[in-house]
């Protein structure tokens, strides 16, 4: 049943990731352009240059904000990573050393083997 749940969650995550490929590409490109615009803003010494690069950075920042659906794609990629990481794990039994039933079962197994 656990595998079915992981498979279903993986299928949904793949669908979300595939549907947000466009916004992911747009986000990546706009962040790259924003990086270079801010870099040029910091290099410029003239006031007119700072104003121009500041206006350009605001425009590119708005373009970056328009790609907010890419955050869902990033979350879907993270969910796929978690599913991949947990696919082969088996559920571990909780053992408490103070639990009398766990100790009883160990002792019973020892008596049966002797």
pLDDT attached to residue 32: 94
Neighbours of 81 (CB within 10 A): 11
pLDDT attached to residue 86: 82
pLDDT attached to residue 94: 57
Whole-number Å distance between alpha carbons of 1 and 49: 62
CA distances from 112 to 37, 101, 105, 106, 107 (A): 75, 16, 10, 10, 9
pLDDT attached to residue 3: 80
Residues spanned by the domain of 78: 2-113
For the chain, the domain total comes to: 1
Positions of the chain with pLDDT under 70: 1, 91-102, 114
**Which two three-digit tokens encode residue 32?**
């790259």
Neighbours of 20 (CB within 10 A): 22
Whole-number Å distance between alpha carbons of 114 and 108: 10
């Amino acid at each position: 049943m656990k595998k079915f749940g992981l498979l279903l969650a993986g299928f949904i995550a793949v669908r979300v990731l595939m549907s947000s490929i466009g916004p992911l590409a747009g986000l990546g490109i706009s962040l790259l352009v924003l990086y270079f615009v801010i870099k040029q803003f910091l290099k410029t010494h003239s006031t007119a240059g700072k104003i121009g690069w500041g206006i350009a950075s605001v425009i590119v920042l708005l373009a970056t904000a328009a790609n907010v659906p890419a955050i869902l794609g990033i979350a879907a990629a993270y969910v796929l990573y978690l599913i991949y990481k947990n696919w082969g794990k088996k559920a571990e039994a909780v053992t408490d050393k103070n639990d009398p039933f766990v100790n009883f079962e160990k002792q019973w197994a020892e008596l049966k083997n002797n």
